Structure 1
Amino acid sequence: MRTLCSSTLIGEFFIIGFAALVAMKDPGLSSSTVWLVSGIAMALCVLLCGVVSRPGGVALGWALQIALIASGVFVPMMYFMGAVFAALWWASVHYGKKVDEAKARFAAQAASAASTADAA
């Protein structure tokens, strides 16, 4: 799960950076505010890569997805991009858990086969 979720988060890192470039063109937003908020969100993406497999990591990822969708208020294209990345986040969590379960099952089978071979 960690690999898939981290890949999604790194993709979001870049999308947030590009969205910040677009948001800077809005005369109602100061560039320092745009980069402060975007920088925090980008840092969260990188930090979440390290804690995604810990308790609460997936929930923090969902909070980031909601914030990404909500950023569509300032950059309307982010409604779409946020929805795309929320779907990717769901897929990363869902299929990542299946991959982790399969790896654990294969490791258990390998350990069982090794102990059977040692006993013989």
Structure 2
Amino acid sequence: MSDRPGRPGRPRRPRSVTASLAQIVLAFEFVVVALSTLVVFGLRALPAGLSLVGGGVLLVLIVIAAGLATRRAGIALGWAVQVLFVAGVVLNLGVGIVGLIFGALWTYSMIVGGRIDRRNAAA
């Protein structure tokens, strides 16, 4: 019996705390990266096309990482997104600082989420 109404099949596996936290952080990061892209574009830190395409690529990577957050590949891609966002310090100091904040939030979420998931698995 499925827990989704109207769709027969096997029940969904409960989502881990790590995956939930990853998706939450990436959702907020999506908005911030979109705004950071506009900042880099507006300050002309890069040519217009490059800043918009680069920001767009990072946004696509965030969406893919959020979609795959239940798998190891999604978490690994999330780490790559954090590194790329922190690398934005070469474009603008403010972007790099915000990238560091999100990198710290991501790290904390992965550590605490993993701890909670291990405790739940042991119980």
Report the TM-score when normalising by structure 2: 0.76
1:8 deviates by 0.8
Q: CA RMSD in A?
A: 1.6
Aligned length: 106
1:112 equivalent in structure 2: none
Rg comparison, structure with higher value: 1
Which structure shows the bigger proportion of residues in helix conformation? 1
Q: TM-score, normalised by structure 1?
A: 0.78
- 1:19 is aligned to 2:36: yes
Check the 8 A contact 1:19/1:75 in 2, yes or no.
Answer: no
How far is the alpha carbon of 1:64 from its aligned partner? 1.2
The answer to whether 1:40 aligns with 2:50 is no
- Residue 73 of structure 1: CA displacement? 1.1
Give, in whole Å, the separation in 1 of the partners of 2:32 and 2:93: 13
Question: By how many angstroms is 1:79 displaced?
Answer: 1.7
Question: Structure 1 runs of 4+ off > 6 angstroms?
Answer: none
Contact 2:64 2:74 in 1 (8 A): no
Q: Report the secondary structure of 2:46's partner residue.
A: coil
User: Which residues of structure 1 form unaligned runs of 5+?
Assistant: 107-120
* Higher relative contact order (Cα pairs below 8 Å, separated by 6+ residues): 1
